[in-house]
Structure 1
Amino acid sequence: MNRIRTLFDIEFPIIQAGMVWCSGWKLAAAVSNAGGLGIIGAGSMYPDVLRIHIQKCKAATSKPFAVNVPLLYPNVSEIIQILVEEQVKIVFTSAGNPSTWTGHLKERGITVVHVVANTKFALKAEACGADAIVAEGFEAGGHNGREETTTLCLIPLVKEAVKIPVIAAGGIGSGKTMLAAVALGADGVQVGSAFAVAEESSAHINFKNRVVAAAEGDTRLRMKKLVPVRLLKNEFADQVAQAEAEGAGIEKLMQLLGRSRAKLGMFEGDMEQGELEIGQVSAMLTGIKPAADILSSIWNEFLSEKEKLSLLKF
């Protein structure tokens, strides 16, 4: 875990995921100020809005923070230019080919981490010069891997394949799950859902309450023909499930998804017609808390459970 601490110059090897409509500057600054690595999620921001969030985050924390950039969006080149102009030091790329921008960012002194769901892209990201990998298992919320490889299987596979640091993601929201990830070989962890419902998250309170109320089995992976995404059950998710059961193709799914469906649910608070992206770990979340408390709870439980295991006799 010292590799992750050193790479990002952070106190704890805990990274807050860059989540659409949740990860604004307030959440990123709060996590960074608490000793982790906060991330601004550029996926839900127009370029000029992203610039404002970067500037506000710089004003709110003197600690390192990062920006997550989903590479599937059409204005990526403009976003990358803003990151360079604003002198962002750490960039997490996801949902796209790492060879496209990794070299460009590295040439400008930026630390680059790429999110993957299989060993093929982990190796590709390493070959492109990525400084670390986020290996995200099937349990994760939001955009997900088509392979449906769970974190338990993915982390040791990726760890064996690459030499650069591996950050585990998917199903991690407690010290116990962090310890499990480290036992599998992870150098650090990325936490999404638990921070999505933090007080500082920019998500709507309706969404936060709905996530906290979620039970086991309340999420499903949908839209695998389009862009696989894990969703909470609601009227929209039911419509997607019905369309998929009837054999809907990409065009039909795109029509159903429409525009701003995630914004409608996660940011504007429509719990039935909105797209509610969240991970399986939502069933384990119990309340809306400050980001600093979430981070310290994960770290302290990690240390406690690690000590307990050291005392066990097998």
Structure 2
Amino acid sequence: MTNTITKLFNIKYPVIQGGMIWVSGWRLASAVSNAGGLGLIGAGSMYPEVLREHIQKCKKATDKPFGVNVPMLYPDIEKIMDIIVEEGVKIVFTSAGNPKTWTSFLQEKGITVVHVVSSVKFALKAELAGVNAVVCEGFEAGGHNGREETTTFTLIPMVKEQVKIPVIAAGGIGTGRGMLAAMVLGADGVQIGSRFAATVESSAHENFKKTIIDVKDGDTHLTLKELAPVRLVKNKFYNDVQELYLKKPSLEQIKELLGRARSKKGMFEGDLEEGELEIGQIAGLINDIKPAKEVLENIIKEFNEVKALVDRF
């Protein structure tokens, strides 16, 4: 399966694992890369030296390409970028910030840069900033999300019409059928988060993994738009947020309720009541916890089977 994305990253399949906070450590990234996709280490939940450790361990665990996902709203961004350069990482996905800030710096070091966007406007800005590709993330996605609430399958063709660089679809994709549908609409590849969160190699707490496979349609919701929109499983913390909204709170009151380390508490430490449980709508189709290699193989197998069926018509 060769196309612009497999050539860009030198990988076998145009499948990128989402660089999720508290979930995407070196074990998951290396497993996905070894299976033929592109694994990403999620730097958003790592102190700089922890990131360095994960990069070094990933390099020992795979001889295949892998990258680092960097949300630019987090602190220590300069240290993180310096470590990425020092450790010889060749692929960086940026998000939650202006792509102009770091794209030239990274590309001058021989690093391929991809930026995550949630609208046509931001896709065009990313292209103008010189990124090598964009990830178009729709409303269905877990974690931090766009305010526009544009769904993946409407966003892909709109962006594809406007940009000349490769387009990677994200949000609500976790099966071979979903991958094929995204590519029919114009995507050159897909980025998959939630399905890889529920894998053996994911660094998520077992409580959170079990919650993922229990989630049904309607069990997640996009909230906290005043801060940074995030899709959460409906739990006690989510209900507390909704009760606060009834009182028409100030921004400071919302921040006070959120506090610090809510996502770590939920996804990494396994507190299913007080923690943020970030996951996408596709969780309603996730029914088991498997090795990342098996997940990727199943996605590609289904993609090929459905494509062959469609091609017959």
Q: Equivalences for 1:206-245 in 2 at 5 Å?
A: 206-245=207-246
Percent of aligned pairs with the same residue? 62
- Which residue matches 1:79? 80
Change (3 A) 1:156 1:245: farther
Aligned partners of 1:246 and 1:106: how far apart in 2?
48
Displacement after TM superposition at 1:250 (Å): 2.1
- Point out where structure 2 has 5 or more consecutive residues left out of the alignment: none
TM-score, normalised on structure 2? 0.99
- Whether 1:248 and 2:241 are equivalent positions in the alignment is no
- Tell me how far 1:38 sits from its aligned partner: 0.2
What residue is the counterpart of 2:139 in the other structure? 138
Query: Could you say what secondary structure the match of 1:265 adopts?
Result: helix
* Matching residue of 2:36: 35
SS at 1:147 equivalent:
coil
2 CA distance for matches of 1:304 and 1:104? 42
1:200 pairs with 2:178: no
Task: Identify which range, 68-77 or 240-249, moves more after superposition.
Answer: 240-249
1:54-69 aligned within 5 A: 54-69=55-70
Letter matched to residue 86 of structure 2: E
Deviation at 1:244, TM superposition (A): 2.3
* Map of 2:186 onto structure 1: 185
2-structure distance, mates of 1:133, 1:144:
15
Question: Structure 1: which 5+ residue stretches go unaligned?
Answer: none
**1:299 corresponding residue in structure 2:** 300
Within 1, Cα distance between the matches of 2:154 and 2:246?
Answer: 28
Letter in 2 for 1:84: V
Q: For the Cα contact (< 8 Å) 1:30–1:200, is it kept in 2?
A: yes
What is residue 129 of structure 1 aligned with on the other side?
130
Aligned-CA RMSD value: 0.7
Q: What's the TM-score, normalizing by structure 1?
A: 0.98
Aligned-partner Cα distance in 2 for 1:296–1:249? 48
- Asked whether the 8 Å contact 1:198–1:291 carries over to 2, the reply is yes
**Residue 277 of structure 1: aligned partner:** 278
Amino acid at match of 2:133: A
SS at 1:121 equivalent: helix
What secondary structure sits across from 1:269 in the alignment?
coil
Distance 1:152 1:245, change over 3 A: farther
Structure 1 residue 248, shift from structure 2 partner = 2.1
- AA in 2 matched with 1:270: D
Rounded to whole Å, the distance in 1 between the matches of 2:250 and 2:4 is 44
